[in-house]
């Protein structure tokens, strides 16, 4: 097992490097960038705003052109830069590091990231680490409680549906599961806002933030109540979109194991139904479900909560990443990509190790990585 863990850890390095290379290349090829955004802010226009220049104006700009060390026209590189002082464009390039070739910028970025130095945001005047730490409580709260509730609901429900397959209970709970499949989490979130957060009916729950403004002045019991009061609606919206697939996975896993020969043998020996289900079937059926907990958590934590954060005004990592992509804030984009990709790869390894914890008969040493 130790050799397998070492191989997997070594495999993380080229995987992480490849992901960073691909994303860096995509961003370089994509239109727009921080320089264009600053030019648009200076002009007071959108990034993609362009204007047709008349002949006289064109001659004036031509006379004011400046060229970089490679002989390239500085002002023609960026949309909306015509007419701006070329020295300003060069200063912006230097400010954002675009005065260096892409390969040099990528090598410098990776060197800093290896030391977990993610730099400072282009437009927020804060370190990327500080921004992530500031948004982390929201995302951890949503991800942790959602994942726990999804598992606590789906596993017992899936087992019950498998045991009573074809019964009235299985049929009407399947209807609930179908609704969970059919309704996206963000639409259910809007429905909850309309019904319970002052939309058109009741005003029982808050619609902004993770805690109340006077949270620091509350007693600890009141703080706990206030915390879950704010989380009730967003977590409900995320759970409705997550429990359906896990419920059916649990049911199908149990049904597959229940129909195997060893289960019939165990029943023939006179074992009780609970002993058969939870002493024999559970370990095999729950292998794929329980072992997938780390990857499920990382998925909910960093990719599944963007629209929920927007609807309920929760300033978390999903919203941070979305705004960074829109604003071309590369330090946040690549810093969070590097850290959370590394975290995801480590959690995938943890998921494999959980297979062994659940079923010690599994031996990864005999597998090729």
Which region among 103-117, 319-333, 350-364 has the lowest average model confidence (pLDDT)? 350-364
How far apart CA 235 and CA 150 sit, in angstroms, is: 10
Residue 33 lies in a domain: no
Indicate the DSSP class of residue 67: B
* pLDDT number for residue 19: 92
What single string gives the DSSP state of each residue in 23-83? HHHHHHHSS--HHHHHHHHHHTS-TT---PPPHHHHHHHHHT--B-TTS-BSTTSSTT-TT
Asked if pLDDT for residue 139 goes beyond 80, the answer is yes
- Mean of the pLDDT values across residues 146-160? 88
Helix/strand/coil for 120:
strand
Q: Are 149 and 239 in contact (CB under 8 A)?
A: yes
Residue 12 lies in a domain: no
Q: Are 102 and 71 in contact (CB under 8 A)?
A: no
* pLDDT number for residue 106: 92
Residue 105 lies in a domain: no
Q: Are 290 and 354 in contact (CB under 8 A)?
A: yes
What is the extent of the structural domain holding 234? 130-358
Residue 206 lies in a domain: yes
Asked if pLDDT for residue 337 goes beyond 80, the answer is yes
Position 20 confidence tier, pLDDT thresholds 50, 70, 90: very high
Residue 78 lies in a domain: no
When divided into structural domains, the chain yields a total of 1
Q: How many CB atoms lie within 10 A of CB 126?
A: 13
CATH code for the domain in which residue 276 is found: 1.10.3720.10
Residue 145 lies in a domain: yes
* pLDDT number for residue 297: 67
- Mean of the pLDDT values across residues 105-112? 91
Residue 30 lies in a domain: no
Q: If you count DSSP H runs as helices and E runs as strands, how many of each does the chain have, helices first?
A: 17, 0
Residue 85 lies in a domain: no
Asked if pLDDT for residue 248 goes beyond 80, the answer is yes
């Amino acid at each position: 097992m130790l050799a397998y863990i070492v191989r997997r850890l070594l495999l993380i390095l080229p995987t992480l490097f490849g992901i960073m290379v691909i994303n860096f290349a995509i961003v370089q090829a994509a239109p727009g960038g921080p320089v264009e955004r600053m030019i648009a802010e200076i002009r007071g226009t959108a990034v993609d705003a362009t204007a047709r220049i008349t002949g006289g104006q064109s001659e004036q700009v031509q006379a004011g052109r400046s060229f970089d060390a490679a002989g390239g026209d500085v002002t023609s590189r960026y949309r909306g830069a015509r007419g701006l002082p070329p020295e300003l464009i060069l200063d912006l390039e230097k400010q954002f590091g675009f005065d260096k070739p892409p390969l040099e910028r990528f090598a410098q970025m990776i060197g800093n990231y290896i030391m977990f130095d993610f730099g400072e945001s282009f437009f927020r005047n804060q370190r990327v680490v500080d921004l992530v730490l500031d948004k982390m409580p929201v995302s951890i709260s949503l991800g942790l409680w959602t994942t726990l509730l999804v598992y606590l609901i789906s596993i017992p429900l899936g087992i019950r549906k498998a045991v009573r397959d074809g019964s009235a209970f299985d049929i009407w709970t399947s209807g609930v599961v179908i609704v969970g499949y059919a309704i996206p989490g963000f639409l259910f979130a809007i429905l909850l806002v309309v019904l319970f957060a002052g939309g058109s009916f009741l005003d029982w729950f808050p619609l902004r933030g993770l805690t109340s403004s006077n949270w620091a002045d509350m007693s600890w019991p009141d703080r706990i109540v206030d915390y879950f009061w704010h989380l009730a609606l967003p977590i409900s919206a995320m759970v409705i979109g997550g429990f359906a697939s896990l419920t059916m996975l649990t049911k199908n896993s149990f049904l597959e194991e229940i129909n195997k020969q060893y289960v019939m043998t165990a029943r023939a020996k006179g074992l009780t139904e609970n002993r058969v289900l939870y002493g024999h079937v559970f370990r095999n059926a729950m292998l794929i479900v329980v072992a997938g907990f780390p990857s499920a958590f990382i998925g909910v934590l960093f990719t599944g909560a963007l629209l929920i954060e927007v609807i309920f005004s929760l300033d978390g990592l999903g919203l941070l990443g979305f705004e960074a992509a829109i604003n071309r804030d590369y330090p946040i984009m690549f810093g969070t990509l590097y850290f959370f990709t590394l975290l995801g790869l480590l959690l995938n390894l943890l998921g494999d190790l959980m297979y062994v914890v659940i079923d010690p008969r599994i031996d990864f040493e005999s597998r090729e990585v």
